[in-house]
């Protein structure tokens, strides 16, 4: 201990007391994200509603809904090391639950959704019935993905399926789910999906005030889950999850079952995707198999990879950026925009594997500030050697 | 003394066999590991040392029994064995490189916490963790990422994690391999300090290190126990000299 103090005073003789400097650094890394979240809240909840047109605000609301799913991917993939390529399934569970409720609202009490009369014999399957209830729908939006992801995750993770096999399995899930939806046109609207809604929980969807509030809920959920993830990442569980990602066997030999550690992240990610899907539907006015299939799932993943999967803000900002880029580019280059997105994706994966969020620490290491102590590492090694003897 | 003798833990292995589809990597091994002694497990490459430890920690399936505190380790899963008080390290140090030294140790302390409390951030450093930091001499580096530690320090961190787990049986797989002489000495002294109330089993190829610190030595060869005893007894055994220690210099020393 005494040697360390000597080292530090030698290294930082001109500067402030090193221990206080280090604790400032720790304080910033612990509470810096809070300021980041506050800034995001300011932009999304205060600036955007005033500055953007209703149309643009609606778009941003949709991106926020997608961002919720992407933030879940950030948790499962970035922190948990599980490459979830089928989050569209859970996004779809929430989206379809909400859409079914709104469809029943549009049909009126005891009414039957229009497409069932069009494609079927006008009778409604029994499992639609509970979704007439608003509270049940809200419950299902959380409980359904939680249950499905728990069962699937338990089966997959307890068998120690990882890496590419895990990714392929989850991807196959998305393909199967979309195929099932398309095949059941009489029950789920098939390829057309569910659309032509009129109200959500009794509020007129065409009322600008309601539209704005839907946006506020979507953006508010992003902020809320940023806080949830921030708390989760700095908790002991957050550390354990990273440890499991980096050395799963080692975690097993510390007395944990890694499957349980990963399962929790997988379930939380599924619930976040489902909530994103549920708020997506009233804003977009439609949900169809193209919103939940394999390519939709990969699009969610692209935002996460671009933004930086392991960072707190990367997935959310990446998802919003991809959504924005997608609509701007597709307006100008309707045929080529996917190539732009693909090229950007390749560039980021090649040169910035940690995503755009990793730019900040990279820039910081280029310009060493007074907060960094590059010299301290070497002498400290000797210190420890002396201590142990 | 009598009381402490009665309270002594031991791990008793009987008839342990690990069969890799016909090839017996460990073949009917009977061994007793006693508390308070640095028990070295030596033998040429492929003797079955690591496989033996793998079987006792649930990494590979073995037959026979391995009784520790009234439970048969061979019937338990890895994480249950750890929770029962048996820990191990691996040949290559596998600390969590992105996490700090403190975080590494804190995770190791998790098995003494309730699951629910893990959703909260760590308040102050747990006592057990602070003690281990001092014992392994890494207290000044507590907030450094484990990835930047020197090789020897990583191995000490692994030992520290076992201390925090409060492992009563520690299997250390080639802990001093690749260490400098000074680091080896530090490691040996560290192990002597902590062995009193636990059982430490060390797989080792470094004969100098073994001679200096071993209380008890078991020599394995082709999956079987070849010889057991103190360093002197084992070195004097002609069969051991033949398969492992059998150099001309050794013969001169003792002859």
pLDDT in tens, B27-46: 999 999 999 989 999 988 88
Domains of chain B, start order: 9-254 (3.40.50.300)
Give residues with Cβ within 8 angstroms of A341, minimum separation 6. Answer: A302, A322, A325, A326, A329
User: Does A297 reside within a domain?
Assistant: yes
Rounded alpha-carbon distances, angstroms, from residue A16 to A6, A71, B149: 14, 39, 26
User: Residue B212's CB: how many other CB atoms inside 10 A?
Assistant: 14
Yes or no, beta carbons of B111 and A254 under 8 Å apart: yes
pLDDT in tens, A198-224: 999 999 999 999 999 999 999 999 999
Instruction: Look at residue B249 and tell me whether its pLDDT is greater than 90.
Output: no
Q: Which residues of chain A neighbour B85 with C-beta distances below 8 Å?
A: none
User: Residue A43's CB: how many other CB atoms inside 10 A?
Assistant: 12
Task: Check if the interface score ipTM surpasses 0.95.
Answer: no
Q: In the prediction, which pLDDT does A21 show? A: 59
pLDDT in tens, A145-158: 999 999 999 999 99
Does residue A162 sit in helix, strand or coil?
A: coil
Q: Which of A231, A243, A389 has its CB closest to that of B99?
A: A243
Nearest CA in chain A to B163: A254
What residues of chain A score a pLDDT lower than 50?
Answer: 1-17, 370-389
Structural contact between residues B129 and B106, judged by C-beta atoms closer than 8 angstroms: yes
Q: Is A256 on the interface with B (CB under 8 A)?
A: yes
Residue numbers of the domain that contains A94: 40-326
How far, in Å, CA of A1 to CA of A3, rounded?
Answer: 5
As for how many domains chain A has, the answer is: 1
Q: Which of A236, A249, A384 has its CB closest to that of B106?
A: A236
User: Does A202 reside within a domain?
Assistant: yes
CB pairs under 8 A between A and B: 116
B32 beta partners = B12
Q: Which residues of chain A neighbour B187 with C-beta distances below 8 Å?
A: 388
User: Does A17 reside within a domain?
Assistant: no
User: Does A80 reside within a domain?
Assistant: yes
User: Does A15 reside within a domain?
Assistant: no
B16 beta partners = B29
Residues B203-230: what's their mean pLDDT?
Answer: 91
User: Does A277 reside within a domain?
Assistant: yes
Assign residue B64 a region (left: φ > 0; alpha: ψ between -120 and 50; beta: otherwise): left
User: Does A259 reside within a domain?
Assistant: yes
Q: Which residues of chain B neighbour A256 with C-beta distances below 8 Å?
A: 79, 110-111
Instruction: Write down the residue that tokens 């989850």 correspond to.
Output: A170
How far, in Å, CA of A136 to CA of A131, rounded?
Answer: 6
How far, in Å, CA of B130 to CA of B124, rounded?
Answer: 10
pLDDT in tens, B79-124: 999 999 999 988 877 899 989 999 999 999 888 888 777 888 888 8
User: Does A246 reside within a domain?
Assistant: yes
How far, in Å, CA of B166 to CA of B129, rounded?
Answer: 11
């Amino acid at each position: 201990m005494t040697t360390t103090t000597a080292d530090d005073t030698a290294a930082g003789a001109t500067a402030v007391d090193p221990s206080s400097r280090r604790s400032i650094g720790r304080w910033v890394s612990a509470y810096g994200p809070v300021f980041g979240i506050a800034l995001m809240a300011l932009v999304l909840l205060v600036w955007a509603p005033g500055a953007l047109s209703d149309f643009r605000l609606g778009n941003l609301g949709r991106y926020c809904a997608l961002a919720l799913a992407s933030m879940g991917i950030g948790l499962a993939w970035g922190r948990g090391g599980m490459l979830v390529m089928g989050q569209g399934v859970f996004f779809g569970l929430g989206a379809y639950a909400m859409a079914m409720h709104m469809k029943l609202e549009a049909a009126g009490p005891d009414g039957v959704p229009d497409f069932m009369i069009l494609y079927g014999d006008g009778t409604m399957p029994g499992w639609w019935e509970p979704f007439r209830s608003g509270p049940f729908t809200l419950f299902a939006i959380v409980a359904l993905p939680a249950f499905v992801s728990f069962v699937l995750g338990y089966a997959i993770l307890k068998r120690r399926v990882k890496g590419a096999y895990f990714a392929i399995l989850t991807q196959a899930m998305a393909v199967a789910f979309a195929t099932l939806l398309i095949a059941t046109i009489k029950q789920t609207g098939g390829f057309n999906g569910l659309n032509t809604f009129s109200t959500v929980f009794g509020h007129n969807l065409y009322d600008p005030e309601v539209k704005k509030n839907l946006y506020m809920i979507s953006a508010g959920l992003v902020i809320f889950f940023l806080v949830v993830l921030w708390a989760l990442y700095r908790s002991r569980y957050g550390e354990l999850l990273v440890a499991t990602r980096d050395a799963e066997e080692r975690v097993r030999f510390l007395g944990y079952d890694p499957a349980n550690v990963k399962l929790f992240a997988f379930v939380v990610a599924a619930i976040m995707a489902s909530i994103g899907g549920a708020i997506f539907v009233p804003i977009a006015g439609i949900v169809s198999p193209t919103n939940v299939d394999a390519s939709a799932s990969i699009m969610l993943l692209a935002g996460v990879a671009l933004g930086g999967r392991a960072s707190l803000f990367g997935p959310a900002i990446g998802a919003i950026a991809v959504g924005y880029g997608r609509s701007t580019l597709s307006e100008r280059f309707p045929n080529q925009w996917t190539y732009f997105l693909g090229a950007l994706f390749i560039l980021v994966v090649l040169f910035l594997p940690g995503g755009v969020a990793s730019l900040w620490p990279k820039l910081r290491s280029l310009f060493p500030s007074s907060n960094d102590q590059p010299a301290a590492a070497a002498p400290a090694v000797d210190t420890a050697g002396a201590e142990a003897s | 003394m009598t009381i402490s003798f009665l309270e002594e833990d031991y791990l008793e292995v009987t008839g342990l066999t690990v069969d890799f589809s016909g090839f017996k990597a460990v073949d009917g091994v009977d061994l007793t590991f006693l508390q308070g002694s640095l028990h070295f497990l030596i033998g040429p490459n492929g003797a079955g040392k690591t496989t033996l430890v793998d079987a006792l920690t649930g990494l590979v399936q073995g037959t026979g029994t391995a009784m520790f505190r009234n439970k048969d380790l061979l019937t338990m899963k890895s994480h249950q064995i750890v929770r029962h008080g048996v820990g191990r390290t691996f040949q290559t140090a596998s600390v969590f490189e992105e996490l700090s030294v403190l975080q590494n140790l804190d995770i190791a302390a998790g098995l003494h916490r309730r699951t629910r409390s893990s959703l909260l951030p760590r308040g102050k450093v747990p006592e057990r963790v602070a003690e281990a930091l001092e014992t392994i001499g890494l207290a000044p580096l507590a907030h450094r990422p484990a990835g930047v530690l020197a090789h020897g320090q990583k191995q000490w961190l692994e030992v520290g994690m076992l201390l925090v787990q409060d492992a009563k049986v520690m299997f250390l797989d080639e802990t001093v391999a690749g260490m400098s002489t000074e680091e080896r000495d530090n490691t040996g002294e560290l192990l002597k300090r902590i062995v009193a109330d636990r059982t430490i089993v060390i797989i080792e190829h470094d004969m100098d290190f073994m001679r200096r610190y071993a209380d008890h030595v078991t020599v394995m060869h082709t999956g079987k126990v070849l010889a057991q005893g103190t360093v002197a007894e084992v070195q004097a055994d002609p069969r051991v000299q033949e398969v492992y220690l059998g150099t001309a210099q050794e013969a001169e020393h003792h002859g």
